[in-house]
Amino acid sequence: MLPINDLVDVAQRAAERAANYIRGARPPAASSWTEKARHDFVTEVDREAEEIIGETLLRHVPGSEVVGEELSPGAARSGEVVWIVDPLDGTTNFLHGYPQYAVSIGALVHGQLALGVIHDVGRDIAYRGATGQGAWSGETRLKVSTVTDPSRALVGTGFPFRQFEGFERYLKQFSAVARAASGIRRAGSAALDLADLAAGRFDAFWEHTLAPWDVAAGVVLVREAGGLVTTFEGSTDVLEHGSIVAGNPRMHSWLRELLEDQ
């Protein structure tokens, strides 16, 4: 197996190739969008980007496995190196020309979440992180914010848009956070939300019902930048289709307690 830094380099290469393809692609007409589930669209751009990523990863790391949102969402996660890929996080934004979407590649190494790369397509900014190596954008090391007062906190979130069974609870949580924090932002890409948290632009973040490929890379960035990411119940195992709360240590504790009361 390649050293962890070499795996990060491979992931960066794959993400950059996909980002370059997406940047040059024209959003297809609405009549050609495929709706995987309610309000959840996929296009040939998503599929082609995932093909590019998978080809790059498997060529440089033979024998590794790829779990991707579009082409292999049900693949097993039992290999020595398992890539967890979202080829276009923020597809709806891409389709509407709203410049908040990214390529996200995380990896399990021997069953443990070990590295993450997020490429902001519109801004052409790459983020990377690996266990024990820190989180970085270029030569800049990422650090979560030092805000400890909720009234000064900027909090990211994602609205439920596929499953509405728990929507009333979410609205109660939103109301509680809005009353306590200085602001809430919802831009539509969980990968970039977590990158913003790792970079200190957000102080905390929460969202319901995220998939592994939505969060794998971002979780590594946040943790390596000094933050915490757990389920609402406090478990650090977040690679399931579930809800997460994240933040710098103080804001994570505050937000998790606040959400739990709603």
39-56 pLDDT tens trace: 456 688 889 999 999 999
Distance of CA 75 to the CA centre of its chain: 19
The mean pLDDT value of the chain amounts to 92
| Residue 33 banded pLDDT, cuts 50, 70, 90 | low
Amino acid found at 149:
D
Burial 186-212 (b: 16+ CB within 10 A, else e): ebbbbbbbbbbbbbbebbbbbbbbbbb
Give the number of other Cβ atoms within 10 Å of residue 215's Cβ.
Answer: 30
| Cβ 225 vs Cβ 183: under 8 Å | no
Residues in the chain: 262
What is the pLDDT, as a whole number, of residue 35? 62
Tokens, residue 120 = 């902001």
Tokens, residue 1 = 């197996």
Distance CA 77, CA 112 (A): 11
SS3 content of the chain, % helix, strand, coil (to 5): 35, 30, 35
Angle between helical axes of 4-24 and 44-60 (0-180°, round to 10): 150
Distance CA 150, CA 46 (A): 37
Distance CA 19, CA 123 (A): 10
Whether pLDDT at 31 is above 90: no
67-71, 122-126, 173-177: segment of lowest average pLDDT = 67-71
Q: Which of 181, 177, 187, 174 is nearest to 153 (CA)?
A: 181
* For range 78-106, the mean pLDDT: 94
Q: What does the pLDDT look like over 207-234, one tens digit per residue?
A: 998 999 999 999 999 999 999 999 999 9
What is the pLDDT, as a whole number, of residue 39? 46
What are 204's strand-pairing partners?
155, 247
* Domains in the chain, CATH or no CATH each: 4-141 (3.30.540.10), 150-260 (3.40.190.80)
Amino acid found at 244:
I
